[in-house]
Amino acid sequence: MTTADDLTTDSTVTPYDVRGEIDYEKLCERFGADPLTDEQVARFPDHPLVRRRTFYAGRDVDRYLAAADAGDPHAIVTGRGPSGPMHLGHVLPFYLAKRFQEATGATVYVPLSDDEKFLAKAQSFESIGEHTRENLRDVLAVGFDPERTRIVVDTADADVIYPIAVRLAKHLTPATVEAVYGEQETVGLQFYPAVQAAHLLLPQLVAGRRPTLVPIAVDQDPHVRVCRDIAAKDALPVEKPGALLGRFLPSLEGPGKMSSSDDAPSIELIADPETVAETIRTHAYTGGRATLAEHRDRGGDPTVDVPFQYLRVFFEPDDATLERIAQRYRSGDLLSGELKEIAIDRITAFLEGHQRRRASLGDLGTELEPYRLTDGERRSALERAGVPPGPTTRPRTQ
């Protein structure tokens, strides 16, 4: 398998390290993903994230599209590593998954890898647990259909995740892990790829073979590659999961990844309107000119303007409106400050809906209940994974 270190550029893109200027097209070539064709883009349920190619490449996308078209079972897995509050960039794959679910009835699985984040970050289980609960509220606020959606938390659903991960780990050597992810600090993180592989196969283990699509940012592609590799080696009754790979939402301060883990400012899903406005007004990188006169004369550059890019990626779904904004900016008619206000307006409107749904949630345990795997689903998954029921499946009562 192709390794984490790129010998031709000085960028690194793995789940645990994103550094340097990302060449999205080159990443595809290097790791054997396929840029989406116009035909594939047209076959997905219409959404700006796909139409404008923020999600721009994939693996085995046609198998998924064929099943979705035919009304055959098809699944999506998109998860969250609960290491902190969720911000705008984190929620994009979830809203995309929701759109697909509404359009074609996709089953959606949302795993939360609290184990992974405990191992990867300098945080206690208590702190990760707090983020897990808050992140779960954000996932619930997206509004997935409980009939077709399952949410799992690694440490809480270990009864089903762990035996599957163990079976898959048998095909994963330390050499592969090191080649794909780079050197890991602990054996915990060396094992984790088997856990995420279990996530990606879970819909098929629970309910039978079906094309599965994993919409994720490119840094998570190594997990998909490893899972596909393992699935090919194991005799499990599953097909390899496919991927729909996304670019990062640009950082407010300019090109690169929008990151919550360094000091770059970002917009949290729970940010109030004043904070959103203040953050964008003070921090957003613009494509405007140095002086008003020069801007009027030569116009701005929407391709590097972060507020414009936020509109393009997600927050202005209408193509004609977006194009009008771009034209007015290029002509110098629209100023950077005015463009920022448009972005503030759209982002605030989106967050208002998200926060309203989030605030209307009651007790977390009760809200989660309809999204949890049933006993029957757990048993089916373990059965398909070839794990016989243990002798002591019932808790001791006295």
Query: Please, which residue, 113 or 279, has the CB nearer to ligand TRP?
Result: 113
Report the alpha-carbon distance of residue 240 to residue 262 in Å, rounded. Answer: 34
Residue 394 beta carbon to ligand TRP: minimum distance, rounded to whole angstroms: 29
Contact indicator for 387, 312 with CB cutoff of 8 Å: no
Selected binder of ligand TRP within 88, 216, 284, 351 (CB under 6 A): 216
Residue 213 beta carbon to ligand TRP: minimum distance, rounded to whole angstroms: 10
Query: Please, which residue, 194 or 339, has the CB nearer to ligand TRP?
Result: 194
Kindly calculate the radius of gyration of the chain based on its CA atoms and give it in whole angstroms: 22
193 touches ligand TRP by CB under 6 A: no
User: Nearest Cα to 248, choosing from 273, 212, 219?
Assistant: 219
Selected binder of ligand TRP within 60, 115, 116, 316 (CB under 6 A): 116
Token pair belonging to 208? 């039978």
Q: Rule CB under 6 A: which of 25-54 touch ligand TRP?
A: none
Query: Please, which residue, 84 or 287, has the CB nearer to ligand TRP?
Result: 84
Contact indicator for 58, 34 with CB cutoff of 8 Å: yes
Q: Rule CB under 6 A: which of 5-24 touch ligand TRP?
A: 15
User: Nearest Cα to 156, choosing from 138, 124, 133, 123?
Assistant: 133
Q: Rule CB under 6 A: which of 81-100 touch ligand TRP?
A: 81
Residue 109 beta carbon to ligand TRP: minimum distance, rounded to whole angstroms: 8
Residue 257 beta carbon to ligand TRP: minimum distance, rounded to whole angstroms: 12
Residue 201: other Cβ atoms inside 10 A: 29
Contact indicator for 302, 338 with CB cutoff of 8 Å: no
Contact indicator for 59, 242 with CB cutoff of 8 Å: yes
Report the alpha-carbon distance of residue 13 to residue 286 in Å, rounded. Answer: 26
Letter for the amino acid at 235? A
Query: Please, which residue, 73 or 111, has the CB nearer to ligand TRP?
Result: 111
Query: Please, which residue, 228 or 289, has the CB nearer to ligand TRP?
Result: 228
- The distance between the two most distant Cα atoms of the chain, rounded to a whole number of Å, is 81
Selected binder of ligand TRP within 33, 77, 88, 277 (CB under 6 A): 77
Query: Please, which residue, 28 or 161, has the CB nearer to ligand TRP?
Result: 161
Token pair belonging to 140? 């619930």
Report the alpha-carbon distance of residue 250 to residue 258 in Å, rounded. Answer: 6
Query: Please, which residue, 200 or 267, has the CB nearer to ligand TRP?
Result: 200
> Which residues touch 30 (CB under 8 Å, ≥6 apart)?
2, 6
Phi, psi of 242 (to 5 degrees): -95, 175
Query: Please, which residue, 283 or 372, has the CB nearer to ligand TRP?
Result: 372
Token pair belonging to 372? 């949890």
Query: Please, which residue, 44 or 329, has the CB nearer to ligand TRP?
Result: 44
Contact indicator for 44, 90 with CB cutoff of 8 Å: no
152 touches ligand TRP by CB under 6 A: no
79 touches ligand TRP by CB under 6 A: yes
DSSP 311: I
Residue 180 beta carbon to ligand TRP: minimum distance, rounded to whole angstroms: 14
Selected binder of ligand TRP within 47, 63, 74, 80 (CB under 6 A): 80
168 touches ligand TRP by CB under 6 A: no
Selected binder of ligand TRP within 98, 150, 167, 199 (CB under 6 A): 199
Contact indicator for 166, 191 with CB cutoff of 8 Å: no
Residue 277 beta carbon to ligand TRP: minimum distance, rounded to whole angstroms: 28
249 touches ligand TRP by CB under 6 A: no
- CA distances, 151 to each of 133, 269, 355, 370 (Å): 12, 19, 20, 9
| Candidates 3-11, 76-84, 269-277, 359-367; binding stretch for ligand TRP (CB under 6 A) | 76-84
| Candidates 72-80, 127-135, 165-173, 308-316; binding stretch for ligand TRP (CB under 6 A) | 72-80
| Candidates 3-11, 214-222, 274-282, 334-342; binding stretch for ligand TRP (CB under 6 A) | 214-222
196 touches ligand TRP by CB under 6 A: yes
CB burial string 134-169: b at 16+ within 10 A, e below: bbbbbbbbbbbeeebbbbbbbbebeebbbbbbebbb
Site residues for ligand TRP per CB under 6 A = 15, 77-81, 111, 113, 116, 196, 199, 214, 216, 220
